[in-house]
Structure 1
Amino acid sequence: MDVCVSLAKVEEAYKHEKQTKAAIWEAVQLLSLNDLTYGMEAADEETDENSVLPAMNIIWPYLILCLKNKVSVAVIRKCLLNMLHKSVQIGGGDFFVHRFQNDGHTIWNLLTSSPFRRKPMLSNEKRILLPYRSNSITSEEPMAEVSSQKIQAAVLDMITTICSDKRTSSALQTVLKKVSGIVVGVACSSMAGLKDASVRALSGLACIDSGLTWLLLADILLFPE
């Protein structure tokens, strides 16, 4: 009988031990979670809200190099452009002002590449100031041009996204005339595949400077070549 009572007590103690261990483990996890939360909040307070900017500062030269590389396939360029406009959205436009001013021509040149072919400049021909005036648009759209148009549409969508937010639109302030001129040229061209994207980009640019946009449109519509 005493043996049975002892075994019962041991069994009861074992159950209490298990319950105690479970309670201690739960308390440890709860405290650890609180410490982790406090640590993350402290880290958030200490670090810059736009932590993407230091990374973009390092990545930028390689990004431009990849966009310049003619060997890069279309899907890679589209991914890079998508990453770029997401970075502008996160980091704000001010960070990209000088970068677009110094290296933006690599991006905008994608809009003037094939099927927009440059006319050869004659020796006695005056240099034309408006960028779209020097583009010759071909009516052909061979299969090889489909990839180029997808990249150009990605550039136009990026411009639209940047223009749509006052926080990001400042990125284009030093290149607004050049970009507007190129987009006007694309919008007024015969390239049906880029029509919608270019009109959206043009509408976005008009939100920044409507006077410039209308002036460029009037120039090409009223005084066609």
Structure 2
Amino acid sequence: MLDLMIKNGMVIDGSGSPGFHAAVLVKDERVTIHRGDTEQFEAARVIDASDQVVCPGFVDLHSHAGLTIMGEPHHDPKVRQGVTTELVGIDGISHAPFKNVEELQRYIWLDSGLNGFPPQPADWLTVADLLTRYDNTVAINMAYILGNSPVRIWSVGWHDRPATDDEIQDMKSVVREAMEEGAWGLSTGLDYPPGAYASTEELIALSEASARL
């Protein structure tokens, strides 16, 4: 018996091909598409998708919901649009890692116009710790992107000056550790301080570090 059958819908499979009428069958986390009669199938749950579109979940590649979703974990505005995955930490603005809570909260306040505030005072410091705040608590998948601003704060501080060679090496270590803890990549936002103070050479070095993982 199938776990789920979604039938009679217009399937848009994401390949760029025209939509077609078919059934989507789910069993043991395996998804298949079946064209034709579905009378042969039994399912624990059947959804009649007549006059509806059935498609893979959308990925929001530019989300500022990394903090506010903690207070609104159902994330209804996005779920109702079909979004099942969001990338947070874009524009060079992410909320880990930090050396201490004071720096983290200062940075949250600085960028609150874009990203809002978490429902409770922020107290995480590492990428791994931040990601646990999403695990099994929010309705969608969260892909965390490491912003270059917190990396710069870690090694250079808030200063508007070029990073030294030693500081760049330290930042590369921060990037490697963040990637190992679950970050999916590196983002830059050259309109937003202190990430805006980074030189081209600094950004190349950090990008090379992230690309290796």
What's the TM-score once normalised by structure 2's chain length?
A: 0.31
Greater RCO, 1 or 2 (C-alpha within 8 Å, sep 6+): 1
TM-score (norm 1): 0.30
Higher strand share: 2
